[in-house]
Structures are given as C-alpha cells and as structure tokens.
Amino acid sequence: MTDETKRPEIYAALAKMIAAVGVVGKNRKNAAQGYQFRGIDDVLSACQSVLADHSVVCVPRVVEREREMIATKSGGSMASVRLLVDHTFFARDGSFVVCTTLGEAMDAGDKASNKAMSAALKYALVETLCIPTFEDERDTETASPEMAATRPAPNRAAPPALSESLSELRLAIESAPDRATLTTLVPRLRARPEAERLLLRPAYEAREKAVAL
C-alpha cells in the first residue's frame, strides 16, 4: 500500500470542494437594520450538491447551550440562545475534520435554538470551505468604528449582580433555602435593569411564598 492510498480522503475532498463551491454573495437584505446578508438556504444551495459529489457528509453536535429571557422594547420577552456546535465533516474512508462554530439567535416563540443551529451551520460551511462574497462591504475590513476616549473608572466596585447573568440570579432565587437567604438577594435584584427586575419578580414572589410555609 502506497503513502497516497494511506492518506485520509477528507483533506483532498475538502480541497476539491473549496474549488467547486465558488462565490455566495450577500444578496438578501435585512428589512429592519438594512444590512446585506447571505442566508442559510443560500449557503446550503451552493454546498449541498458539492458535498454529495465528493461523498462528504456534515454531522452537527451541540457541545454547549445557554438560554435566557430578554426583555423587548415593546414590553414583551424573547428567548436568547447561544450554541457551541461541533460540525464533523466525514469522507468515505471514515476520516474527518471538525469545525466548531458559535450560533446565536433570539425568538419570541420556540425557534431560538433552531435559528442558532442554522447560524452555526452556515458559518461552519463558510469557514471550512472558504466561501467568498466579493462584496464591497465586508463584515470587518471596511467598517472600522473608532473607540470613544476612555474615562477613568470610578473609584468604587461595580455591584456583583452586574457581572452575573440573568439565569444565574434566577437560579439563586429559586434555590434559596429560607427567607433570610432570599432577603440577601434583594440588593442584587435592585442592581439589575428595571426590565430584568420585572422578569425576576414572579420567581422571587413564588419563592417567598414557598419558604414562608
């Protein structure tokens, strides 16, 4: 058996796929913010037949998941989901490479995780196959915002609650064993923005009733 036949197929297959996919332009426009983008369907349409032609499959696996509720300007709430996803590209001989991407999305219903999975897959394909856009407006190259002059930090420590996530504070409330412990969480609650306090109030009141029994 020669060295050539021993070589894993996945690397040669990916190189051929990079040459075959070509450009996927940002031909869609976000109606709310007005920016151009390429959707998951655009990327999948360009990649699906190329993957099949080179006998490569992509299998996603969620490694980490974070979910929290975010208050909206209209007074409602949305689920915000962040997923860390491994995308494993397998060749016919079983050889593989893994591309890990982060997907983040928000939704008022039950689709936040679905959207985050699509975002993670889109960028796994874009990054692994080096898919260009040939657009004048790049994500990072032509848009270089200038930082404002920094001001000296005030000589006081920030409230501890501001460094913790909303879900961490909710968990602390729901697991408080007694009223005294629950009361110690009040300063942390007061340090949160008003919208978050409104979201946490039902959990606090429910726990307050539970520990009073």
CATH number of residue 102's parent domain: 3.30.390.80
> Is residue 145 a part of any domain in this protein?
no
Q: Which pLDDT does position 129 carry in this prediction? A: 93
Contact (CB, 8 A) for 26 and 36? yes
> Is residue 137 a part of any domain in this protein?
no
Domain span at residue 90 reads 8-128
The tens digit of pLDDT for each residue in 174-187 reads 888 888 888 888 88
pLDDT in tens, the chain (213 residues): 444 556 799 999 999 999 999 888 776 666 655 566 677 888 988 999 999 999 999 999 999 999 998 887 777 888 999 999 999 999 999 999 999 999 999 998 889 999 999 999 999 999 999 988 766 555 555 555 565 665 655 555 544 444 567 788 888 888 888 888 888 888 888 888 877 888 888 888 888 888 776
Token duo for residue 12: 């040669």
Final residue of a structural domain among 128, 149, 169: 128
Q: Looking at the 3D structure of the chain, how many domains does it have?
A: 2
> Is residue 143 a part of any domain in this protein?
no
Same domain, 27 and 108: yes
Token duo for residue 92: 């016919």
Query: How many CB atoms sit inside 10 A of residue 157's CB?
Result: 6
This prediction has a pTM of 0.58
The tens digit of pLDDT for each residue in 71-107 reads 877 778 889 999 999 999 999 999 999 999 999 999 9
Same domain, 73 and 117: yes
Same domain, 166 and 112: no
Same domain, 110 and 173: no
Longest CA–CA span in the chain (Å) reads 76
Q: Which residues have a Cβ under 8 Å from the Cβ of 192 and sit 6 or more positions away?
A: 161, 162, 166, 169, 200
> Is residue 185 a part of any domain in this protein?
yes
